[in-house]
Amino acid sequence: MNQETIATHFGYNTKSGTGAMAVPVYMSAAFDFGSSDTAAARFALKEFGPIYSRLTNPTLDVLETRFAAFAGAKMAISTSSGEAAIFYAIANLAQAGDNIIVAQKIYAGSLLTKTFKRFGIQAKIFDADSADDLEALIDDKTKAIFFESLANPQISVANIQKIVDIAKKHKVITIVDNTVATPVLFDAHTHGIDVAVYSATKYINGNGTALGGLITASNHLNSIIKNNPRYEWFNEPDDTYHGLIYAQLPDELDCYILRIKLCLLRDIGATLAPHSAFMMIQGLETLSLRMAKVCENAEKIANFLSSHPKVKNVNYPTLKDNPSYEKAQKYLKNGKASGLISFDLGDKQLATRVINAVKLFSIVVNIGDSKSLITHPASTTHFQLSDDELNAVGVGPGVIRLSIGIENVDDLITDLDNALQA
């Protein structure tokens, strides 16, 4: 089955139950086992079925099963936000005394480099665009390499092949934040990445109506974890789960995803709400269509901005002079580069005037909405950085970031053109 068909059909049978065409929302905290034998079988993992909505819920099951198939993954798990997904993805692998290697340009920087530090997990920073400095950072205590496929707001593409090759050599798990590309544009697991995390709040939802996160794991992840001393707790009995050894679970199950469910969701509980899962299921149905439109619009807008006399520089990976152009062609499906564009007006006052003058674009720090958004990173998402630091990370004071939606592109270009006269 292809992605568009999976997104509309997979994991839910309209012929079962009432015949409801839309996936029902199971707004229930707990589920009646019917018999004590069933209750025992579910707790012992002899039978899969709903227990309690912190762990399992039939609406979430449809989203997770469908998204795993959509992303070419063995299993998926949903969480209450993208940040919660990233927290689980790391907390499932690392503990105090361990380290993680994290790309320099990432959204979840404060979580990965500051908050985890308080838990005793140190982050070492590498340059994901080249990955030249990556291998030297790996040691026995390295538990994960974390990067974004399409990083924002500089809109660059990681050197994926090199990162994956180095990780394979050292048997370290790779985690990609694939929020901006989505599985429509970047097939993380086919490219050899072990784990992908998503803020489903963005393109997957598509309408900006709910927060949520998703984690997927590749088909080969069990074999990396099994008997790997780096991941000892997967290979030892879990005394909080009747001595279960995750790495010995049958191979059709994914031990990494199941440990998040059985251990981290149980103990921490940042679970997606059933109604939010329903919103994500609705969004996923049209994700492929929306991504195609978003990419088409963004490419036209990037070309328009490139030829505008007031614009000093445009960052969008389909532009031939872009530093990520070759990598975008190599890794992103059909070389399409999603909806984020940044451009430099070289001057903070001008950038502010343009942002205040647009009419269709909303001044919002979100991304991935069907409606186009505009931000000034230097005074919002990156306000804590000095001018030198801003220039170093590619978001100087004159830089504007756009998240392009699915409106008519001529209207968007007219709006930007008028605002640029400001």
Rule CB under 6 A: which residues touch ligand PLP? 81-83, 107-108, 148, 177, 179-180, 199, 201-202, 211, 213, 367
| Smallest gap from residue 180 Cβ to ligand PLP (A) | 6
Determine how many CB atoms are found less than 10 A away from the CB of residue 140. 9
| Smallest gap from residue 177 Cβ to ligand PLP (A) | 5
Q: Which residue's CB is nearer to ligand PLP, number 81 or number 352?
A: 81
Q: Which residue's CB is nearer to ligand PLP, number 93 or number 155?
A: 155
| Smallest gap from residue 324 Cβ to ligand PLP (A) | 16
Phi/psi region, residue 273 (left: phi>0; alpha: psi -120 to 50; beta: rest), is: beta
Q: Which residue's CB is nearer to ligand PLP, number 50 or number 213?
A: 213
Phi, psi angle pair for 370, to nearest 5°: -70, -15
| Smallest gap from residue 199 Cβ to ligand PLP (A) | 3
CB-closest chain residue to ligand PLP: 82
Do the beta carbons of residue 360 and residue 407 sit within 8 Å? Answer: yes
Q: Which residue's CB is nearer to ligand PLP, number 350 or number 393?
A: 393
Q: Which residue's CB is nearer to ligand PLP, number 177 or number 344?
A: 177
Phi, psi angle pair for 185, to nearest 5°: -105, -25
| Smallest gap from residue 258 Cβ to ligand PLP (A) | 23
Q: Which residue's CB is nearer to ligand PLP, number 271 or number 352?
A: 271
| Smallest gap from residue 309 Cβ to ligand PLP (A) | 32
Size (the chain), residues: 422
| Smallest gap from residue 25 Cβ to ligand PLP (A) | 20
Q: Which residue's CB is nearer to ligand PLP, number 180 or number 225?
A: 180
Determine how many CB atoms are found less than 10 A away from the CB of residue 197. 28
Q: Which residue's CB is nearer to ligand PLP, number 122 or number 338?
A: 338
Closest among 272, 365, 288 to 55, alpha carbons compared: 272
| Smallest gap from residue 141 Cβ to ligand PLP (A) | 25
